[in-house]
Amino acid sequence: MLRGHLALFTDLPLRIEHAPVSRLVNIGRVAAEEGWSVSLTGVEATPDIDKLPIRVCAVARNPNGRTVINPFNAVIRRAVSSAGAVVVRGYWLGFFVLAMAWFRGVPLRMFDFHGSTWREVRDRPFYAALSWGMESIAFSLATHVLTVSEGVKSQVPKRAAGKCMVFENGVSPLDGQRVPLGQQSRSSRLNIPTDTFCIGVVARFGAHFELDTVCRALENIEADVLLVIVGEGPGLSEIDFGAHSNVLPVGEWPADEVRAFLENRCDAALLPYNPDWPCSTTPKFFASRKLMEYLAAGLPVLAPDIPGIHPVLRNHTLGFLHQPYAAEELASHILRLREDSALRKQICSQAKTIATEYSWANLARNSGFIEVLATNGSQA
């Protein structure tokens, strides 16, 4: 066994825009800075991933387009066999990879847990039971469980609670240098007037988001306000964008274009969590990477006041929280930010200061991840 090699696994396409993939990439960067060699195995790969200082092992899609998770896949087997430590995301893939790692005697086996899938699919009993079973086995096989928040940690079974490390999502890079907004950038090509108050929301839009409230809020605003939606997902299909002249969907953008847009053209940012999503009522559940990127860009944040929001939004004045589905209240918050440039400047300064505390290196150190790598990964 080669000691000092960390193998990362995901059941997702290797695209840096996807938050779970970006999380694994940054975990790998932290480990590389500590002297580990790092590989990342997932489905396919895009050119932006290939530019990273991490060895990428891309597994091809099978004919039906699903992730290849066959435990006998040569790419997966080679990655596990060379590892002194593994980190895996996905309960199904986690079951296979952690089982192989346990069988091969890999001393450090980490399950990167983002929340219980079975809670979201209770209306599909067979699938819920299957996902619950795979999660349970993954918890048993793991030596450590990484959770992105205290809320997610609360979903870990008691028998595995002692294995947990809360390793939140961070923001990178935090070098103090703004990304220039080139004339040919996607943001520039939108031709948004300079006097238009621009609200940005960047996400993979699934069931945990709802945009109806902000669309209704914008209907009550006569001033020049524009909501720019960056990203894709099934949640967008429910919105009739033709009926909302001040809502602009632009699709998915590369990470550097997103950062340039947030830093140079946005005046505020939106976290449109769905209050009725099952985990929204779990205290401190959400640990959004985008929240940290919004703060790093110095943007005021607008979000519903639900138990699941990140505590940083409650503990600091970083924007406004509105009651769930309260479109009129959200509209008043938007107008307040639009008209009060001094408040925006104050929030900008505080947000950037707080964001520096959420660098990946700081989070890795505070969670105990670096210490675990040092003490357990070197064992035979």
Give residue-wise pLDDT tens across range 30-58: 888 888 888 888 776 665 555 566 676 66
- Neighbouring residues of 359: CB distance < 8 A, sequence distance ≥ 6: 170, 171, 172, 174
In a domain, 175, yes or no: no
Place 2 in a pLDDT band, splitting at 50, 70 and 90: very low
Average pLDDT over residues 350-368: 91
Place 210 in a pLDDT band, splitting at 50, 70 and 90: very high
Instruction: Based on the fold, state whether residues 47 and 158 are members of the same structural domain.
Output: yes
Instruction: Based on the fold, state whether residues 366 and 341 are members of the same structural domain.
Output: no
Instruction: Based on the fold, state whether residues 163 and 214 are members of the same structural domain.
Output: no
pTM of the full predicted structure?
0.85
Instruction: Based on the fold, state whether residues 25 and 147 are members of the same structural domain.
Output: yes
Place 68 in a pLDDT band, splitting at 50, 70 and 90: very low
Instruction: Based on the fold, state whether residues 229 and 116 are members of the same structural domain.
Output: no
In a domain, 268, yes or no: yes
Instruction: Based on the fold, state whether residues 220 and 266 are members of the same structural domain.
Output: yes
Higher pLDDT, 78 or 337: 337
Q: Is residue 81 within 8 Å of residue 288, measured between CB atoms?
A: no
Average pLDDT over residues 154-172: 90
Instruction: Based on the fold, state whether residues 142 and 288 are members of the same structural domain.
Output: no
Q: Which long-range contacts (CB under 8 A, 24 or more apart) does 329-334 make?
A: 330/213, 330/214, 330/217, 330/302, 331/217, 331/218, 331/220, 331/221, 333/302, 334/197, 334/199, 334/217, 334/218, 334/221, 334/225, 334/268, 334/302
Instruction: Based on the fold, state whether residues 117 and 206 are members of the same structural domain.
Output: no
In the DSSP assignment, the letter for residue 165 is E
Instruction: Based on the fold, state whether residues 98 and 148 are members of the same structural domain.
Output: yes
Return the CATH number at 286: 3.40.50.2000
Stretch among 127-136, 250-259, 348-357 having the lowest mean pLDDT: 127-136
Query: How many domains are there within the chain?
Result: 2
Average pLDDT over residues 304-324: 93
Q: Is residue 116 within 8 Å of residue 28, measured between CB atoms?
A: no
Instruction: Based on the fold, state whether residues 228 and 86 are members of the same structural domain.
Output: no
Instruction: Based on the fold, state whether residues 27 and 124 are members of the same structural domain.
Output: yes
Question: What CA–CA distances, in Å, run from 105 to 19, 69, 101, 162, 181?
Answer: 30, 21, 6, 21, 50
Instruction: Based on the fold, state whether residues 273 and 371 are members of the same structural domain.
Output: no
Place 238 in a pLDDT band, splitting at 50, 70 and 90: confident
The pLDDT tens digits for 264-290 are 899 999 999 999 988 899 999 998 888
Q: Which helix (H) or strand (E) is 255 found in, with range?
A: helix 255-264
Structural domain including 334 reads 186-357
What is the Cα–Cα distance from 103 to 83, expressed in whole angstroms?
13
Candidates 87, 84, 101; CA nearest to 146 is: 87
